[in-house]
Structure 1
Amino acid sequence: MSEYIENILRDLPKTPGIYQFFNTSGEIIYIGKSVRLKDRVNSYFRSHTKLTVQKKIMVRQIVDIKIIITNNETESLILERSLIKEHKPQYNILLKDDKNYYYIKITDEQFPKVIKTRFKTKSGKYFGPYTHGFYVSNLLRIIKKVYGYGCYGIHFFRVGRQYNLDQYIFKNNTHREKPDITLAEIETYYKEKISEIEDFLKGNVNHIAEGLTRKMLAYAAELKFEEAAKLKIDIDSLRITQEEQIVRDFVNGNYDVINILEKYGNTYVGCIEIRNSVIMGYFNYEIENSLEEDSHEVLKTFVENRYIDHLEEADTATYIIPFAVEGLTQGIKTEVPKIGGKFDVLRLCYKNLYNYAHKKYLGSLSAKNFTKSTMSDLLDILGYTQVNKKDIVFECNDISHLSGTHTVASRSVIENGRTNPKKYRKFHIKNLSQGKIDDFGSMKEIFERRLLEMIKLGNIPDLIIIDGGKGQLGSVVRIQNEFIDNLEQKYKSLEIKELSFEASEKAIRELQIVSLAKQEEELFLPGISKSIVLSKDSPQLRLVQSIRDEAHRFAITFNRDARSANMKKNILESLPGIGPVTRKKIIRNFGSVGGLKAMSRSDIESKLGLKVTQILDDHGLLM
């Protein structure tokens, strides 16, 4: 330690304040705060102080120390936060925000605008964050439909000496034609409508949903089924919005629910912001932790930063955290629930954070380096052998549904290290009633269909990957054994058989299966309780993750397509005189209801006949 540093340490005051460490280049490498500057700063240089390796490296770089004295601990925290944001020192804990979120912003203007944005500033009111841009666009579309707001950013204009509302400003505007309307009247009316929009964005949507429901029923009574179907989509969106916004009844008040995750060699922090018992947003961060601080210090820093950011709120939030943290700034209120509703929300925060971390991790992986030898090595690790002589084929199935509706499944395939979309398959689940959720029943149907396909075509995969842990793997093994018990009957029912009965039984019994548990990314084999844990950066684990995630993506896409097709089908089902045969003919010839409007009437008549064409025309489905 230099004499210069010794003199600084000796003369430090025992007051609250900020300290800054500088290196030889004059850069600030660390900024900290303390209620007693002398004790805190000296602790870095005492020989008996236990410092991490990274802290020792930092201390060796310090050539100068500067302090700023403050009046109290809260003032120190505010100043520390501001200086860290400005200088971004190398060794401070920094939060890397997830920039993929969207917000709806109501601007601070005489006549505010309602806009979509990715960034929060000090001006305006923000609602969100929302994870998908299309979801935000749908909300804005509903706002425009209900209130008539938002076209072209034009809000009012002046004709001569008179003010008048723009024709696009708000629907059902009784003031529009008023000849002597004043600017004050326009502004009052405008603010009332903006207040209603704010209420809508806070999740108070019952009255809007009821109004849309009345309109939908009116359209249906007038046989305007396409308009009614569109309103039904809006109503469903509103209901989902409301359900997702309301926190469980026993989480009352203002809370920040914060959880922390150390995984994939990084630290992540997540936060659910709750105001007036309504979830206002989800936030996830990746932490830059150059000093390798422990989870307690990271959580402490995060909570204090949140506290400063929301210090001006009239009713500051209580922080729900996973474990107790010592040394928090005075005035910060925390709770550490172990059971009950608050604990459930803490788990929800962890679940969202885990998904965020997992996606960040997958995004950092290179999917271009998989080879046939990668697949062969994985088989060796699992104790399996290559089944096919020429190609190595891995498969993974996934099931997707929306609250029990439109349940579908997908199969993704990797062959010789590369995805093979030509062998991807889509499946409608046939044995479930609409609205019923039965993951086991869905898996049973899709797995049995795959086994029958093996018998008919002889296409045996080298490995089947199951998305899930021991439970899901056990279910698949049970389905496999039941299928073998009834194999003779199933075999006889098939007209085409590539495999003999004996070969079929052998192939099904010796089918090579592994499951991937999402929580810790462990691999499980049938009949073995102990998991196989691969290195997080091993190409074999990345390969399994890749095919699992590809199956999930493919299933979700298929589910969306199925819902869209069903909506179009429902419109046709509502029309009198249009039976199932005609509906199929319409979809086969024109692709969709929308496709009808692109065709001439004569073309439609030639394919569907005069009577059907007239019915479609009477209900506004033709140009």
Structure 2
Amino acid sequence: MAINLPDKVKNLPLSPGVYLMKDSQGQILYVGKAKNLKNRVQSYFRNSNNHSPKIKKLVKHLRDFDYILTDTEFEAFMLECQLIKSIKPLYNRMMKSPQSFIYISISLTGNHRKMDIVFNPIENDGKVYFGPFTSRRNVERALQGLKDCFKLNCSNPNGSNSACLNYSLGSCLGRCLGGPAEQQYNDILDRFIGFLKGTDRSILEDMNQMMLNASDAFDFEAASAYRDHIQAVSSLLKKEKVIEFTEENHNIVAIERVTDSKIKLFLMKRTEILFSQSYAATSNICEEIKANIIAYFKNDANPTGDISRHEIDAAHIIYRYLHSGSCAYLIIPENWLDPENHSILDLALEDLLNSPQHLQPPILNE
């Protein structure tokens, strides 16, 4: 029996949650999140002239939807992220924004090293990957600076043993000719790999010497260009704040007011919500929160080290949430979990619960 979608939409609640769009076979086509489920899902069925072609195609195949309610928009964000990762719906892949995160790839196999900008690293494919980076423009500037400084601008990268146009212009060191120049090219990229790994700074040292040589020769235009190239390449080592914050593996306690009478507690680490619980806003919950903090953070085995591409979306969601003003949050140092420091933890929790950031419930106007 056909489902009357307009009637089903009318009965949706005005609360946060996740919706799952399905086709006639029950396959999930798209997963989305909303601060206000009813308003968001209704938007698919009105103003069709303003929809993108992909949205119009989605609506054409839409035959049913499910939804999952959450207490907060933040939970809806995190649940959407989790479901997209596990289900991989077709239209989420089609509508993914023009690749928010990019990587530098350098091939290690064959005679010819190759350096590219890619969106999806592939494991065990004979390449090394560095990233994620959020600004394609900055990465492109850095790679072009490297190529300009070390004459890596070969216009015949497959190497046919004949000089390319850029070789005659002086911007290719001769990789296209094979032989020693090709090995020199590969050696430079190997040093660049060491630079990105933080183990070899000779690339920057050589670039700095080029800048000094140009300055000594009173070629200040070239010196200025080398300076810009050095800054661009150096920027590749500067991590985005969200990535740096996530890799520090903080013990995070966040509290958000859901309604006039209810608050929501989240205990988070890295890109995971370890525990969440709703409480009456008037109840004395310090001791219960402290017990959960100790239980979930003490000797926690969450992963450490570089953030992976699988964690990046959740990392951004958590970081934006903590800095959005929607919640009050506290970072718990490891030593506060020791019994002799529980009095410090008690005082910090009292301050957190009295923080003005979570005194106002959200307005659901999406």
Q: Normalized against structure 2, the TM-score is what?
A: 0.41
- Higher RCO (CA 8 Å, separation ≥ 6 residues): 2
- Give 1 or 2 for the bigger CA radius of gyration: 1
Q: Normalized against structure 1, the TM-score is what?
A: 0.26
